[in-house]
Every structure is written in C-alpha cells, then in structure tokens.
C-alpha cells in the first residue's frame, strides 16, 4: 500500500493561519475528505484555495446531535472510503478545523480507522491560542495553570472550576452564555473574562464588558477565557 492519509489541522479559520506544511499536504492530495452540514463546511471554506483543481472532494454531512449513533455510522463510511482509496495507492487528506487532536473531528474518524494505515497528522493553531492572541489575553505564565472545559459539561462542574484560581477556557460558550454570565457575576470576575466568537473570521467579535453579554444564546463557535486567578 503506497497511498497515504494526512490529517490536516487548519487552525481557527483564517486561511493565512494554515501552516506551510498543511498547505503542501492539501495541494498534494488527490482526495480531500471533510465534514460539514448540508449547507456549508467551514473547514472547506478555509482550505479551498489550497486544494488542487484535479483533486476530488468528499464532503460528509454531519448532524449536530447529542446521540452519536448516526455520527459514528458516517465516520465509519468515511473510514471505509479512505481505506479503499489507500488500497489504490491514492493520497488523501482529512481537513480538520483547529487542531486534529484537540477536540478535533478527526479523533472520531481515528476511532473508525485501521491503525495500520499509513497515517500522519499535521497540527493546527487551536481556537484557544487564536482567541488569546486576538484579544491580547495572556493565558498562563510561570506557575499558573490552565483548565479547558467544553460548555456541554454540567453547569455545576463548570462553576466548581471557578474556585480553582486557574485560568479557565470554556469552549463553545455561546449557547450557554446566560448561565455562564451569572457564574461570572457570582464569583466577581467581571474584570477577568474575555468572550470571543468566530475567532479569525471576518465576523469575529470580542467582548470584555459584562453588560454587553446578552441573556440569550450566542454563536456556537465561541469561547470564554476567565482569569480566575
């Protein structure tokens, strides 16, 4: 088997933040695999200028459901398609927003793949690092520690981390912003939070004023950086 699969981290969305190594891998691919919705794929939008015009793109629509049965089935279908192409000595890439191994969609594909396949991974800039840079917010220094929590976590567990005096990053914070806003106020951290949505995209927004945080849901692609220390 002389084919190859490369999982490419695309970073937060700005095409200029894609690494040179990732660009080379995308340009060399004969087959490009990516997930998205029926309407769009943010990963494909980021990488489209780097894809070879002769490459074939395989877009798999992924439903955003808590129940994972259908998602696992789709990843299995993708893994089977990739395996068949590798048997034909084709070179494939999987496009992944952010970093493939940090809450990346590629982790779910990896579970479905045969680990004996010729596979390599190119890391990408995570949303955390991009948001910290965009908002001029230092994450950690010296002996400080960093806690990363997905906003889907139980709200009481999220609040528990507010007492740790760590820097806390809450991913996908927008849909639960009303609950998180109340916790920020409760722990008197109005001066220690930064909210970033759609980081590095044209519609990027940064909020540091608690009064500007609404009590209604904000975009899914968002995060909170909270300096609890």
pLDDT digits (tens, 9 = 90+) for 216-227: 999 999 999 999
Q: What tens digit of pLDDT does each residue of 113-167 get? A: 977 888 999 999 999 999 999 999 999 999 999 999 999 999 999 999 988 878 9
Q: Where are the domains of the chain?
A: 4-122, 127-227
Q: What is the pTM of this model?
A: 0.91
State yes or no: pLDDT of 64 exceeds 90: no
- Which residue, 82, 83, 126, 76, is CA-closest to 101? 126
C-alpha 82/C-alpha 80 separation (Å) is 5
The CATH topology of domain 127-227 is 3.30.950
The CATH topology of domain 4-122 is Cobalt-precorrin-4 Transmethylase; domain 1 (3.40.1010)
Q: What is the pLDDT of residue 1?
A: 66
Beta strands 31-36; 56-61: pairing state: parallel
Contact 128, 223 (CB under 8 A): yes
Q: What is the pLDDT of residue 19?
A: 98
Q: What is the pLDDT of residue 65?
A: 67
The region that residue 13 occupies, defined by phi over 0 for left and psi between -120 and 50 for alpha, beta otherwise, is: left
């Amino acid at each position: 088997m002389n084919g190859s699969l490369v999982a490419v981290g695309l970073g937060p969305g700005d095409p200029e933040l894609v690494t040179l190594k990732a660009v080379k891998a995308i340009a060399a691919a004969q087959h490009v695999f990516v997930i998205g919705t029926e309407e769009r794929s943010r990963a494909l939008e980021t990488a489209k200028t780097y894809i070879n015009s002769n490459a074939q793109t395989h877009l798999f629509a992924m439903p955003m459901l808590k129940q994972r049965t259908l998602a696992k089935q789709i990843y299995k279908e993708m893994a089977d398609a990739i395996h068949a192409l590798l048997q034909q000595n084709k070179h494939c890439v999987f496009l992944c927003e952010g970093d493939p191994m940090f809450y990346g969609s590629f982790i779910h594909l990896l579970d479905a793949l045969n680990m004996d396949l010729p596979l390599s991974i190119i890391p990408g800039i995570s949303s955390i690092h991009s948001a910290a840079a965009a908002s001029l917010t230092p994450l950690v220094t010296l002996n400080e520690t960093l806690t990363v929590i997905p906003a889907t976590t139980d709200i009481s567990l999220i609040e528990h981390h507010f007492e740790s005096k760590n820097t806390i990053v809450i991913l996908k914070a927008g849909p639960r912003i009303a609950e998180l806003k109340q916790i920020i106020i409760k722990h008197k951290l109005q001066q220690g939070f930064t909210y970033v949505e759609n980081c590095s995209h044209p519609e990027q927004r940064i909020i540091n004023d608690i009064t500007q945080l609404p009590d209604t849901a904000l975009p899914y692609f968002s995060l909170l950086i909270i300096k609890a220390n």
